[in-house]
A and B are shown apart, each in its own frame.
Chain A
Amino acid sequence: MEVSRRQFFKLSGAALASSSLTALGFSATEAKAEVREFKLARTTEVRNTCPYCAVGCGILMYSLGDKAKNARASIVHIEGDPDHPVSRGSLCPKGAALLDFVHSPSRVLYPEYRAPGESEFKRVSWDWAIERIARLMKEDRDKNFVTHNEHGQEVNRWVTIGFLAASASTNEAGFLTWKVMRSLGIVGFDNQARV
């Protein structure tokens, strides 16, 4: 029995010289010379999830730039992911405008703090921000934590604070959100399902 033999092909200049094009009396010299003046442009296409709402539509992000050449890759286009089982390539107007969101000049890139009464935000470190959030949470929890309701039943809840998580989180992130927030007694938390 004759069996298929699948192999790989590489069109080098030498291979072109032994190709049908040459065998049929044509010359690829001009094309080969042209190629020497060209450069390859590298782009990437990456799957992601729209960050806005709980539908979690799939998106494709197109970036331009060669990481290997030390150039900073930049997202040049975003569109719906046609393979996504839920959204099948469609996006709402907010999702369709994600490119502007990514490149927005007012996009927050690091923690900032505006003290009470101040008019300006000032840049702070992550350590400072996390420390301060923890401090304020502790103070509020110590003051407002409810261990028992009016019937004397044990409830251990902390209702003076809420927590908002992102819609594009994974199951694992959702699990962690639940564990961390519930362990503190927080009842009011949401995964930004209907913005």
Chain B
Amino acid sequence: MSGNSYPLEPQAVEFGAPPPFVRLPDVSNLFAKRSERFVQLASTRQPAGFFLLLSHLAKAQHRALEELTSLPMPTASYLEYCRENRLAPFAPDMFKPDTAWLSVLSRVLDELSRQDLTADASSAVRRARQLDRAVLQAWGSAIVRGIYEPVDRQVAPFIFGALQVYWAKLASQLEAEKISRLNAPGDCPVCGCPPVAGRILAEGQFRGNRYLWCNLCATQWHLVRIKCSNCESTEGIAYYSIEGQNQAIKAETCEKCKTYLKLMYLEQDVNLDPVADDTGSYALDLMLSEQGYHRRTPVSFLFAAPE
């Protein structure tokens, strides 16, 4: 054996860095990948037209995000204040979005109106384009606060789509190491919103780690496995999937607070997108609702009334 060659190289057994607490959104391809995923889902899920519409929406989100220039950021002292006090800097209660999101919405609707949509979808896009700015602002403000009732169900997906673009862009302009954990580990440390799903990573040294995915800003944050993301219980946790169907998506249910969060096991399907596959697996939500379980966000783009 030569002097510096070992049968087992040190890097093969040493630990890398611990998993980072926060993974900020990669805005370069976030929505483009989601659009592709919606196209894939349209071939196996019903109604296919709805998934194709959402693929067009995600493509439009991608275009709008590409054209979005840097957004003005809060001051460094505000961000430091948030970090020290465990506050989410872009929580809708503390941070007021500027009107750039309305331009994103116009851009999204422009893109959609150029697509070959169903008659109903086209008329919904037309209606959204005619809506008063004040109405849009009121609805946008309600949606980011988790209040969905006042919002017209026909245009809610477009409004929410524009808000996702705006908030993902904001989040991407932050520095991950300056974001602190919140006292509520199940809330997004960037915008305070609940997660849409959790992802169990498959890649290298982070294999098996669970990251929650923010419904609004697409930030990912680490939460230990086998723990309710709503009430933090570690007792009474079970995992439900549809028998004989896709086992890559399971709902983590909590007996204590009767809520659930979908988990996506990327090792079993690397193409899973937390938002697209949330919509794609709404059959699981229908079944869990019969068992009395609730979730913290509406199923993506369905905006069914809360119960």
Contacts and interface: CB of A to CB of B under 8 A. Distances in A.
Contact of A3 (B124, B145, B207): B145
Interface stretch (A41-49, A99-107, A114-122, A125-133): A41-49
A8 B242 contact: no
Interface stretch (B2-10, B60-68, B77-85, B114-122): B114-122
B50 A21 contact: yes
Given A4-B92, A4-B145, A31-B47, A24 B304 contact: no
Nearest to B259: A8
Contacts of B306: 7-10
Given A10-B307, A15-B307, A23 B154 contact: yes
Contacts, number: 182
A45 B93 contact: no
Interface string A10-49: 1111011011111111111011101100111111111100
Interface residues of B, number: 71
Contacts of A39: 242-243
Interface residues of A, number: 49
Contact of B296 (A9, A15, A60): A9
A43 B302 contact: no
A82 B297 contact: no
B47 A20 contact: no
Contacts of A41: 240-244, 247
B248 to A, nearest CB: 13
Contacts of A88: 15, 18
Which 8 A/B pairs are nearest by Cβ-Cβ distance? A25-B120, A82-B208, A15-B304, A8-B294, A11-B285, A23-B153, A19-B304, A41-B243
Interface of A: 1-13, 15-16, 18-28, 30-32, 34-35, 38-47, 60, 79-83, 88-89
